[in-house]
Amino acid sequence: MQVSNINSLANTQQVFSSKNQSVDTFEKMIERQLLSMLEEQNPKEEKDPEIEKFRQDLKSYGALAFYQKLNLEKIEKLIEEKKEELKKSLGLDDTKQPPLEGQDKLDALQTLDEMLSSYTKQLLEQMQARSELEGKDKTTSIFKSLLH
């Protein structure tokens, strides 16, 4: 009786093994078909240079470096906007009449640098906190999925 159970178990394993191989083969066949369909459709569509640049950057930098690069670009843009806003409020822009001169201008420039430095630190801290929070959320969701 035990010999027949072992033979039946071996036959069952062979069936599952062949089914897994056929599923893998089927998945690969579907994947090839989808890729060929996408390749056929892509030449018909006009490629947007911004999208192509995005794809190329993503491939060359990798996901993490690309994400960090995007964040730094956002920070630089926010800093530039803040700089223009502060210049206007400190009277360093071209619309100020009469324009600041001498020590007043030097003081205003020093204040501008200090405020921009503080703003940059604040943005970097926010970015770091957000990244840490996202990391904790991902870790928590992984643990929750393991527990269920």
Which pTM value belongs to this model? 0.51
Given a contact cutoff of 8 angstroms between Cβ atoms, the answer to whether 118 and 124 are in contact is: no
State mean pLDDT over 111-127: 91
pLDDT given for residue 14 in this prediction: 53
Q: How far apart are CA 41 and CA 33, in angstroms?
A: 12
pLDDT tens digits along 71-114: 888 889 999 999 999 888 888 877 766 777 888 888 888 999 99
pLDDT given for residue 81 in this prediction: 94
Q: What's the pLDDT band for 141 if we cut at 50, 70, 90?
A: low
Return the closest-CA partner of residue 93 out of 80, 79, 83.
83
pLDDT given for residue 82 in this prediction: 92
DSSP string, 79-112: HHHHHHHHHHHHT-STT-SSPP-HHHHHHHHHHH
| Type of residue at 20 | N
In the chain, where does DSSP find H-type helix? 2-44, 49-61, 63-90, 102-147
pLDDT given for residue 134 in this prediction: 77
Q: What's the pLDDT band for 2 if we cut at 50, 70, 90?
A: very low
* CA quadruple 90, 93, 99, 105: dihedral, nearest 10: 50
